[in-house]
Amino acid sequence: MGLAITTLDEKSMSQFFYIHDENPQARLINQAVAILKQGGVIVYPTDSGYALGCMIGEKNAMTRMARIRQIENDTNFSLMCRDLSELANFARVDNQAYRLLKSCMPGPYTFIFKATKEVPRRLQCDKKRTIGIRVPNNIIALALLEALGEPMMTTSLVMPNEQFAESDPEHIRDILDHLVDGIIHGGYLPENQTTVIDMSEDEMVILRHGAGDTSAFE
């Protein structure tokens, strides 16, 4: 489980990493981070299936991610953060909202807040100037974010005409080997969706019921 396997084809080169889901190998984590810092796109595990990720501000990488999912706008992207300490840089969060988040994160939630000026305009929902924020309860994802040292732009790897994010890394390799720069095999994951909660206005709104418990928000 400690090998980084590089696969080659006539169109592209994609690296396939077997990373331990409880004790991620630092060397392989750093190799995946290097792909991100070079402007690449990776597939990585979260607490709600696999996701696509790239560095903030990498417009070409975001375009590739949108093309894979066949989505035309940027409202399906979120910032994946390593902990709540990064929230204030990107989202306008009051004390009440922060206390609620602290009680349930890391976890399978996507929270929508008003974006700060630190968030590139292209990443915000056009009308409301909002941004989705996640803190994943997944050891590999958190190790990636720790090594990266900043949040990652992300979108769940939900393929066209599918309801849930991809959960089988071998299948992901079969369908995306030509289209991404790195794929992390972090185990076979349950088919879960995040719970999506809009906290951008005075009243909280549950936009989607998913794996995250909503009792604290109702």
Q: What is the CATH number of the domain that holds 18?
A: 3.90.870.10
Q: Look at residue 2 in the predicted model and tell me its pLDDT.
A: 43
205: its two tokens: 């709104």
Could you read off the pLDDT of 76-128 as tens digits, one per residue?
A: 789 999 998 888 788 888 888 889 899 998 999 999 998 887 766 656 555 67
Q: Quick check: 65 and 41 in contact, CB under 8 A?
A: yes
Going by their DSSP bridges, the two strands 109-114 and 195-198 should be labelled as parallel
Does 7 score more than 50 pLDDT? Answer: no
What total of structural domains would you count in the chain? Answer: 1
**Enclosing domain of residue 161:** 4-217
pLDDT band of residue 5 (cuts 50, 70, 90) is very low
- Give dist(CA 58, CA 153) in Å, integer: 9
Q: Look at residue 96 in the predicted model and tell me its pLDDT.
A: 86
For residue 29, give the 3-state DSSP assignment. Answer: helix
Torsion of CA 87, 210, 77, 39, to 10 degrees: 90
Name which of 6-10, 80-84, 145-149, 167-171 the model is least confident about. Answer: 6-10
- Average pLDDT, rounded, for the chain: 87
More confident residue, 186 or 131: 186
Q: Look at residue 124 in the predicted model and tell me its pLDDT.
A: 53
Q: Look at residue 4 in the predicted model and tell me its pLDDT.
A: 43
Q: Identify residue 83 by its one-letter amino acid code.
A: D
- Mean local confidence (pLDDT), 171-191: 94
pTM over 0.75: yes
Residues 85, 91, 96, CA angle at the centre, nearest 5°?
A: 75
